Each structure stands twice: as structure tokens, then as C-alpha cells.
Amino acid sequence: MSRIGYGRASTRDQNPDSQRDALTAAGCDRIFVDKASGRIDRRPELDKALDYLRPGDTFVITRLSRAARSLRHLLDLAAKLRECEVDLLVLKQGIDTSTPGGRLQFHMFGAFDEFLRELIVEGTLEGLASARARGRAGGRPPALDAHGVEMARALYEMKGEDGKRRYTVQQIADRLGVSRATIYRHLDPDKPVSA
């Protein structure tokens, strides 16, 4: 009977080390970690972890949200673990499905997690709609203003005496302090310049 750990870092900047440390401290024999958003269906390390489990093992995670995208996914995961005769241990939420109380707590926490996630999404959407109604757009400000776009185009179209371009896209990007992708986005001469 083994303890198999699973962790997931949800963004490029989030480090899974704290989850790995907690899973190691919980006595996990093997640990699988995905770097993926919670809303992405494909999680290869979760699939490997579930394939690795044997009857009598315990699947260990730090939080329910690390393994499940939604309440439906959480219930499917619980059913699969039951079918494989594998218990679930959720460290931060104190859930242990080897006990009847742990199984009840598992379902309650899953429902609460989904409810909170939906409230956050709803609040975000309302905030964006309110900002748009006041003339503000969400997201990052543009990397180049109208002057920067004109300068990028002028530099790109500048030719030397030999008729070749004087500046590469990389040189223009470096000079303006933006990425090459930003420069390429604005090089289309038919694209209107926006502030």
C-alpha cells in the first residue's frame, strides 16, 4: 500500500515546490506534478498518477482544487478512486475518504470549492462589464502608443544605400523596448494606428 502524491501549479509563475514538500512530508512514495491551468482538460501527470495507483493505495493532494476542474470532475475522480479501491487524502482540507466522515466532508468541500469559483468568475465578469460601461477596457495597456507604432513603421521601412532594410525587427523591438511580436503586429501598413 503506497501513498501517491499529485500536485499542480496553475500558472507559469507558480512554483509547485510547496506542494511537493507537503506531499513528501505526508509520506508519498511517488509524486506527479502538472504545470497547467485548472480549466485545461489535459493533465498528463494526473493521468500517470491515476494509472500508477493500485488497490489499497492512497491518492494524496494538498487541496481539492489541485486535482479537479469542477464539481463534476471531482465527483468523477472520486468515483474512479472508489472503483480502483483507492482512498483520497487532502492535506490542507483534512479530508480522508477512508472514513465515512471524510467521504461526507469530501463532497461538501467539493461543492463549496465550485460555488466559490463561480462567485469569483461572476464577480470578475460583472467588474469587467461595469468598467466597459464607463469606457474602460480590461487587460493590459498597449505596449506601443500611436507615436511608437509610427516610429516602428518608419524604422522598418528605412532603407540603406544598398536598398536593404536598415533595421531588423529585433533591433526595432530592442530600441522601442517591446517584443518582436508587438512590432510584427503593427507592421501591416493597412492596419490603422490606434492610441
Eight-class DSSP state of 33: E
pLDDT of residue 48: 93
Q: Are 126 and 160 in contact (CB under 8 A)?
A: no
Which among 93, 108, 23 is positioned nearest to 58, based on CA atoms? Answer: 23
Which among 41, 56, 113 is positioned nearest to 87, based on CA atoms? Answer: 56
Q: Are 143 and 178 in contact (CB under 8 A)?
A: yes
Mean pLDDT by 10 residues, the chain (195 residues): 89 74 94 75 85 94 82 79 89 86 77 78 85 78 85 88 87 90 78 47
At 31, list the grid cell: 509524486
pLDDT of residue 41: 61
The half-sphere exposure of 94 on its side-chain side, counting CA atoms within 13 A, is 2
State the catalytic residues. Answer: 10
Beta strand 30-35 pairing with 87-90: unpaired
The answer to whether the predicted template modeling score (pTM) of the entire model surpasses 0.75 is: no
Which among 72, 75, 61 is positioned nearest to 32, based on CA atoms? Answer: 61
Which among 70, 73, 74 is positioned nearest to 88, based on CA atoms? Answer: 74
At 151, list the grid cell: 516610429
